[in-house]
Amino acid sequence: MTIDRRTLIASAAASAIVMPTIISRAYAQEKQLHIGVYNSALGKLVQKEIIPAFEKEHKCRLFTIEGATLSNIAALRATRATPKFSVMMMDDVGVPQAKQEELIDKLDPAKIPNLAKVYKRFLFEDSYGVGFNISSAGMFINPQKTTGLTSYEQIFDPKYRKRILLNTPKNTQSVLMLIVATALATGKPLKEAQYLIDQGWDKLAQLKPNVLTIYDSEALVLMVAQGQADIGGIDYSKSIYPHAAKGVPLDMAPLKEGSFTGINSLTLVRNAPEPELGAAFINRMLDPAVLEMLSSQTFGAPSVAGINFKPEVAKYLAYPDTKMDEMGLFTPDWNFIIPKRASLLERYNQVFSS
């Protein structure tokens, strides 16, 4: 059989038409997973080191939005009628709120087998959220310039006038600072002071003359290292220790009142478009090898037992979980605080903007 030039051209033209249709159909069948990650170094690490391998293994495409806990919860509210996201990252403080608003679903251990490896203290609200990266939270200093800081009371000293960086009210840490002010005003330990939180406003206002600026970017913690400020906070160790590990003069201050926990968590969105794929992603995030990688680069402790770290990493981690107790780390009662949070943040803004 001979094929003339006209037939060959016609055949090629037909192929050119059919081929894009096949590609388009395959693309349309590819599953898509939308997740919310942190707008931080941790979020960037998830995007760079975890997502590409997950996409390849599950033959899917992942799309992310970046935000803090409040903005991520707001994204769930905005898409409640037409759910877009399947997985949302938020701090432990956000889990009770998201559960109450029916924005998230309970995690199923049958679909997330790595849940069985998680310390029980990091399963929140009857497994509606699970922690995966745990930091301490307190004040940070340049240890070469600021010495002898052993109590939160000292940050009110007039010698620190215009020398303190204060974390933005948009972040969870602002509530922690109000608990500190209440503890100092009432003489109660942090665990008791949180239930008297409305008694801390006058004390908190006394800090205003010492505040150089209110910051909302992790990069600004370097102002303390560079000597532009003496003390910063309240902030998470995951924002400080990665710099310290590189030789930058920054450290968390050892304060006698104790420090707080900051727990990055994972949730499965209610009516998720891809619930099975979402559960698989949460399971991947809880894999010990993944958690070891995240902890080694962010210096936030993992939530599962049995991981061994190099000494140069281990010294920064509140790990294993018993070390959290030894360090006096404290997790607030978010179920008590959350109903008050909106009014607290409004008044907090008034204190430092007036």
Q: What is the pLDDT of residue 305?
A: 92
Residue 1 has pLDDT above 90, yes or no: no
Each residue's pLDDT tens digit, 316-353: 999 999 998 888 898 999 999 988 988 998 999 899 88
Residue 10 has pLDDT above 80, yes or no: no
Tell me the pTM: 0.84
Q: What is the pLDDT of residue 40?
A: 86
Each residue's pLDDT tens digit, 195-228: 999 999 999 999 999 999 999 877 899 999 999 9
More confident residue, 40 or 231: 231
Residue 18 has pLDDT above 70, yes or no: no
CA distances from 330 to 128, 183, 326 (A): 21, 13, 11
pLDDT confidence bin for 11, thresholds 50/70/90: very low
* Of the candidates 136, 129, 53, 119, the residue with the CA atom closest to the CA atom of residue 93: 129
Each residue's pLDDT tens digit, 33-44: 999 999 888 999
State the average pLDDT over residues 169-189: 92
Q: What is the pLDDT of residue 28?
A: 46
Structure tokens at 122: 């990091």
Average pLDDT over the chain reads: 90
Residue 13 has pLDDT above 60, yes or no: no
Each residue's pLDDT tens digit, 234-290: 999 989 999 999 999 999 999 999 999 999 999 999 999 999 999 999 999 999 999
State the average pLDDT over residues 98-103: 96
CA distances from 246 to 83, 112, 240, 302 (A): 41, 35, 10, 21
Residue 275, Cβ density class (10 Å: 0-12 exposed, 13-18 middle, ≥19 buried): middle
Each residue's pLDDT tens digit, 77-96: 999 999 999 999 999 999 99
Q: What is the pLDDT of residue 216?
A: 84
State the average pLDDT over residues 103-123: 97
Taking every pair of C-alpha atoms in the chain, what is the biggest distance, in angstroms? 99
Residue 307 has pLDDT above 90, yes or no: yes
CB 301 within 8 A of CB 295: yes
Q: What is the pLDDT of residue 29?
A: 61
* Of the candidates 98, 93, 106, 41, the residue with the CA atom closest to the CA atom of residue 74: 98
* Of the candidates 35, 95, 103, 41, the residue with the CA atom closest to the CA atom of residue 65: 35
Q: What is the pLDDT of residue 17?
A: 35
| Phi, psi of 58, rounded to the nearest 5 degrees | -100, 5
What percent of the chain is predicted at pLDDT more than 90? 80
Q: What CA–CA distance (Å, rounded) separates 332 from 119?
A: 18
